[in-house]
Structure 1
Amino acid sequence: MSSKKCEPPPLDSLATTEKATFLRLGHKNHSQWTALGSASFILISGGMSLAWGSGFAVHSAHRDQLLRTVHMQIAWYATAVLGALFGAFYTHRLPQQPIYILASVLVIASGTLFLAWPECPGAIIAARYLDGLANGLAFVPALSTVGEISVNEIRGLLASTVEQLSFNTGILMQLIYTAVWQVDWNVVIVADQVHGVLSIVYGAIALALALTLCVESPVHLLMRSSEQRALVALRHLQRPYMVTSEMLLRLDEHKQYVAGNREMCLGASLQKGYPSVLKLLALRLLGVLCLNSIICSALYETGNQLVSCLYAWPFVVFGLLRWCGCFLAVLLMDTTGRKKPTLFGIFSTGAFAIAYANLFGRTPHMITALVMLFSLQFLARLGQCASAAYLTEGFPLRIKPHMVAAVYIIEQAVLLLLCSFLPSIAGITAYFHFLGALSMVLFLLGIFCLPETRLVTLAEAQVKFSKWFNKDF
C-alpha cells in the first residue's frame, strides 16, 4: 500500500480561508460597530469642522474672519475641551446612550445654524461651539469603551475605524465640496450651507443609531456590579444573539479585568498610566502637526504655482490620500499589527517632510514638492491610525477616561495654537524641517518604546504599555 504524503495547502487556498475567516468574524461582530456608530458620525462632523477651522474653507464667507477673529478661531476647540472634561467625569459613571443622543442633537443644531444663517458670523460661531461640544462629549466615552465593547480579534480595526477613519472621512468631505464649489455658480445655496446640510445628515444618522443600536460597555456594567446586564450587553454585541460558551469566556475575561483594576489604587494607576500618556501624547501630537493652517498654507502656496484653478484637484487628492492611508492602516491593525505600520508611517513622514522642505520654494521643483506633500499625508495617516487603538488599550481602568480626555485636550490646545499661526514662505520651510526631524526622533524612540498589542487582552495590553521599553514587534 502506498502512503500519501501530507502536503501543505496551496497559498491561494490559505488566502481564501483567511479571507473567509475575516469576513465571518466581521459579520459575527458587526453589532460592535453599530453600538458605536453614533459616535462615528459625530466624529465625521468633527473632521469637517477641523478642516474648516484649518483653512480648508476657501469659499466660506467667513474665511477672512476665521484668520482675523480670535473668537471664531477658538470656538470649536474651547467647547471640545469642555466636552472632554465632562466626558472624563461621566464615562464609566453614567450610561452612554443619553450622551450620544445629546451630542447628535448638538450636531444637528450646528448644521441648522450653518444652513439657516450662513452669512451671519454670530450664527457660525455658535454652530462651531455646538459642534465642538458634541465632539468632546462623544470622543472620550467612545475611545474609552471601544476596547471594552469589541473582541480582541478586531479591537484595533474597530477603534481606528470609529475615530481615525471617521475624522478623515469628515476631512475628505470638507475638501471635496471645497474643491468642486465654484463661486460663479448660479445657485441659491452657498458653500457654508453645504457644510450645514452634511452636518444635519450626520447628526440625524448618529441620532438614529444612538436611539436604536447603542449598547452599553459590559465593563461599565460590571463596575456597577450588574453581571446579568453585562451578559445581556454581550449577547447584543455579537451574532447569534444568544448566550454561548465563547460569550461566557468573554464575560470572565471582563470580570478579571475589572477585578484586577479594582485592586489597583489611584497612585498605582497613575504610576502605570504615566508612561502610556507620554507615548500617546508624542504619537498623537505628531498627527496634529500634519493637519493645520500651516499645512493648508503649504498646499496653497505649492499648488498656486502649478495650476490655474487651485481649488480643484490638489484639494481632492490631498484629502483622498489622507483617507486612503487611514483606510489601509485600518485593515492592517489586526493582521500586520499596530507597531510596524506606525513605525513605517512615522519614518516615511519624516523623510517626506524633509524632502518637501528642501524642494519648497524652488520653482522648477514645485511639482515634485506637491507630490512630496501628497505622499506625506498618505504616510502620516498610516503612521497615526494605531493611536486610536492605543488610546483604548493603554491606561488602567480607573483613570482611563481622564487620561483619554487629557490627551484629547492637549491635542486641541496645540491645534488651536497652530491654526492661529500664518507662516511666511521661510516659516513653512522651517516648519517642515522641524516636522521631519521630530518624526525621525520619534521613530527611533518608537522602536524601543511602543508595544505591539495585536490579539492580546486589554489587561495584557495595559501591562505592556506600563513598561517604558517594549522591543516586541
Structure 2
Amino acid sequence: MAADKYTPTQQESCTAPGSNRSWLSRSHKNQPQWNALGSVSFILISGGMSLAWGAGFAVHSAHLMTFHMEVSWYAGATIGAIVGTLCTYRLPQQPVYIIGSCLVLISGILFLACHEHHEAIITARYLDGLANGLVFVPAMSTVGEISVCDMRGLLAATVEQLSCNTGILMQLLYTAVWQVDWNVTIAADQVHGVLSIVYGLVALALASTLCVESPVSLLLRANEQQAVAALRHLQRPYMVTSETLLQLDEHKHYVATNRGMSLWESIRMGLPPLLKVLAYRSLNALCLTLVVWSALYETAVQVATHYHAWPYVIFGVMRWSGCFCVLLLMDTTGRKKPTLFGCFSCGSFALAFATLFGRTPHMKAALGLLFSLQFFAGLGQTASAVYLTEAFPLAIKPHYVAIVYVMELLLRLIFCSSAPSPAGIVAYFYVLGGLSMAFFFLGIFCLPETRLTTLTEAQQKFSKWFNKDF
C-alpha cells in the first residue's frame, strides 16, 4: 500500500480511460455513481424547500412563523450533522440514508395529516432538518470517493447544489400558487407534506436498492475485496476491468497518503481549505435569507399593483437556472472560473441593487437586478459542493464538512430572526456586494483549480494558502 507504487499511474486515471468517449457515453457508464447518492439528492430537495421556508417563503402557511418554528429546522440539521459526523467512515452509509429517508417521509406525513397543529409542523421541521444534517456530512465527505475524477465535479454539484436549488424552486412555485386567490381545497402546508412524502419514498427506494458504499471507507476498514466489489457496482458494465483496478490503486494511494499524516498534521493541513470553503459557503448562505425575501417583497409590491405570483416564480427559476447552466462546466472549464465570474457578478448586482432600492422610479430595474443576482448566486456557488468533498484531509474531513455546514446554518438563522427595515436591506446588500467582491479578488490568488485531478492532488492544492492556477 505504499504511495510510491502508485505514482507512475496517478494521472492516468484522469486522462487515459474513457477520455476519448463522448460525454453521453461517460454519463451512461458512470450512472451508478449518481444512483448510489440518489437518495441523498431527494432528501436535500426536501431540505431546499425547508431552507426557502425559513428564508420567508412561507407566507402561504396557515401558521405564524414563530421563533421556535423558525429555529426548529436549523436545530434539527445541526444535531443531524453532529450525528452524521460520528457515523462517517465508522458505519455503512446505507442505513444512515435509509434513516434519513424515513425521517423525511414522517415529516411529510405530519405536514399532510396534522397541518392545522402548530406543534406538529414544528416537529416535522425538526425531523426534516435532522434528516438533512444526518445525510449531508457522509454524502459530501464521500461523493468525491464514489465518483471518477472526470465526473466528480458534475456529481457533487448535482447531488448537493442542484438538489437544494430544486427544493427552493419547488417551494417558491407552490408558494406562488397560494399567493393567488385560487379556489383550492387543499392547504398549502399539505402540499408541502405531499411533496415531502414523495421525496421520502423515492429516497427510501433508492437507498434500499442502489446505495453503494464508498471504496475509501471500505479500505479504511481493511475490506479490500468489498472495495473492489463497490467499484465494480459503480460503473457499467458491472465487472472488474483494468480501469477498476486503476481506481482501486488510486484509492489505496489516497488512504495511504492520509494515514501517513498525524492528526495534528491533518488539522494543520486542513486549516487553509477550511477558511476558504467557509468563506465561500458563507456567501451562499447570505444570498438566501429573510433579508433577501424582504427585498424581493418590498420591490415587487411597488412594481405590481397587486403582489402577484410571478416574482416568486422568476426568483426561483433564475437561481435554479444559474446552477444548472454551469453544472456541465465543472469538469471541463473547471471550478475556479465559474466561481470567480459568479461572485464578481453577484457582488456587482448586489451593490447596484442597494443603490437603486427604495428609489421609486427605478424599482423595475431594482427587481431585475435582484433576479440577476440570484442567477449569478446559483452560478457562482455551484462549485462549493465540489470543494467540500475535495478540500480536507481524510482524518478530519467529516468534522470540517460539519463545521462548514453548521456555520452556514447559524449564519442563515441569524439573518432570519427578524424582519429588516428598508435601511437594513440597503446595508445588507452593500455588505453582500462588498464581501462578494473581496472573495473574488482573494479567490484569484487563493482558490485552486482541481478539475481532472485525483483527490490526493486536489487535497495538496487546497493545503496551500495561494493558488494562481486556472
The answer as to 2:243 corresponding to 1:242 is no
Q: Which moved more, 1:221-230 or 1:181-190?
A: 181-190
Q: Is the 8 A contact 2:180 2:308 kept in 1?
A: no
Name the CA shift for 1:369/1:388 in 2 (closer, same or farther; >3 Å). Answer: same
Contact kept, 8 Å, 1:218 with 1:234, in 2: the verdict is yes
Q: Which residue of 1 aligns with 2:24?
A: 23
- CA shift, 1:186, in A, is 3.2
For 1:329 and 1:182, locate their aligned partners in 2 and report how far apart those are by CA, in whole Å: 31
Q: Helix, strand or coil: the match of 1:452? A: coil
State the Cα distance separating 1:240 from its structure 2 match. 0.5
Letter in 1 for 2:192: H
Alignment pair present for 1:213 and 2:210: yes
Work out the CA distance in 2 between the residues paired with 1:335 and 1:261: 28
**Distance of 1:311 and 1:333 partners within structure 2:** 36
1:450 and 2:447 aligned: yes
Shift of 1:311: 3.8
8 Å Cα contact 1:294-1:418 kept in structure 2: yes
Q: Which residue of 2 aligns with 1:8?
A: none
Matches within 5 A, 1:116-155: 116-155=113-152
Q: 1:175 is matched with which residue: 172, 175, 178?
A: 172
Q: Percent identity?
A: 69
Query: TM-score, normalised on structure 1?
Result: 0.94
> Which structure 1 segments of 5+ residues have no match?
1-16
Q: Give the Å deviation of 1:372.
A: 0.3
Give 1:233 shift.
0.2
How far 1:182 sits from its partner (Å)? Answer: 4.9
RMSD of aligned alpha carbons: 1.2
Between the aligned partners of 1:205 and 1:440, the Cα distance in structure 2 is: 40
Deviation for aligned residue 1:20: 6.3
For residue 52 of structure 1, what is the aligned residue in structure 2? 53
CA contact (8 A) 1:345 1:383 kept: yes
Q: 2: distance between equivalents of 1:185 and 1:297?
A: 24
Give the equivalent residue in structure 2 for 1:9.
none
* Aligned twin of 1:264: 261
Question: 292, 295, 298: which one pairs with 1:295?
Answer: 292
Q: Which moved more, 1:383-392 or 1:181-190?
A: 181-190
- Picking from 393, 397, 400, the partner of 1:400 is 397
| Contact persistence 2:97–2:135 (CA under 8 A) | yes
Secondary structure of 1:31's counterpart equals helix
Q: Cα offset for 1:422?
A: 1.1
1:424, 1:312 → 2: CA distance? 23
Deviation at 1:183, TM superposition (A): 6.2
Gaps of 5+ in 2: 1-17
Give 1:462's aligned amino acid.
Q
- Between the aligned partners of 1:310 and 1:391, the Cα distance in structure 2 is 39
2:76 corresponds to 1:79: yes
How many residue pairs get aligned? The number is: 453
- Aligned positions of 1:367-378 closer than 5 A: 367-378=364-375
Task: Report the secondary structure of 1:427's partner residue.
Answer: helix
Looking at structure 2, the residues matched to 352 and 342 of structure 1 have their Cα atoms a distance apart, in angstroms, of 15
8 Å CA contact 1:178–1:311 kept in 2: the answer is: no
**Contact 2:107-2:127 at 8 Å conserved across structures:** yes
User: Do the aligned partners of 1:97 and 1:214 also contact (CA within 8 Å) in 2?
Assistant: yes
SS in 1 for 2:150: helix
Q: Which residue of 1 aligns with 2:38?
A: 37
* Counterpart Cα distance in 2 of 1:453 and 1:92: 24
Contact 1:59 1:183 in 2 (8 A): no
- Normalising by structure 2, what TM-score? 0.95
1:460 aligns with 2:466: no
Give matches, 1:293-332, under 5 Å: 293-332=290-329
Are 2:180 and 2:309, in contact at CA under 8 Å, matched by a contact in 1? no
CA distance in 2, matches of 1:341, 1:311: 33
Q: Is the 8 A contact 1:346 1:439 kept in 2?
A: yes
- 1:111/1:199 contact within 8 Å kept: yes
Amino acid at match of 1:138: V
Structure 1 match to 2:4 = none
Query: What is the alpha-carbon distance in structure 2 between the residues aligned to residue 440 and residue 19 of structure 1?
Result: 38
